[in-house]
Amino acid sequence: MKYRNLGHRIASLRKERALTQEDLAKKIGLSRPVMVKIENAQRVVSVDEGTIISSALGISINTLINYEKSESDENSFVKAFKSKGQCSLKQEKEIIRFELLFDALCTQEKIYKGE
């Protein structure tokens, strides 16, 4: 399945686990209205929140954000570093975290512009 954004992926995973928005929000220490905004891509998710959300869903942060890789695998920094033999597992995790942060900042800019 192709996901529109991180919020859509979170909503899908939440529903697969038979959790309501309220249930997930309580598990991660956020309010339901904030959860609604995240799922509707009206609020960006920080790297720390992404880690907490993925943990609450019983998956890794890599699995949570993996859908973006399928769309832009050719442009992935991890792929670029791996092709040069310059990427350890620890570095890969850090690069993925930076990619997630960058995507969150880009999404935030689009929201501010009303796109």
Residues in the chain: 115
The per-residue pLDDT for range 40-89, each reduced to its tens digit, is 989 988 888 999 999 999 888 888 876 443 444 445 666 666 666 666 77
Residues 20-41 pLDDT 10s: 999 999 999 999 999 999 999 8
- Give the H/E segment covering residue 75: none
Please give the CATH superfamily to which domain 6-113 belongs.
lambda repressor-like DNA-binding domains (1.10.260.40)
Both tokens assigned to 90: 């620890």
Angle, alpha carbons 39-114-21 (nearest 5°):
15
How far apart, in whole angstroms, are the C-alpha atoms of residue 19 and residue 68?
Answer: 23
- Residue ranges per structural domain of the chain: 6-113
CA atoms of 98 and 54, how far apart (whole Å):
16
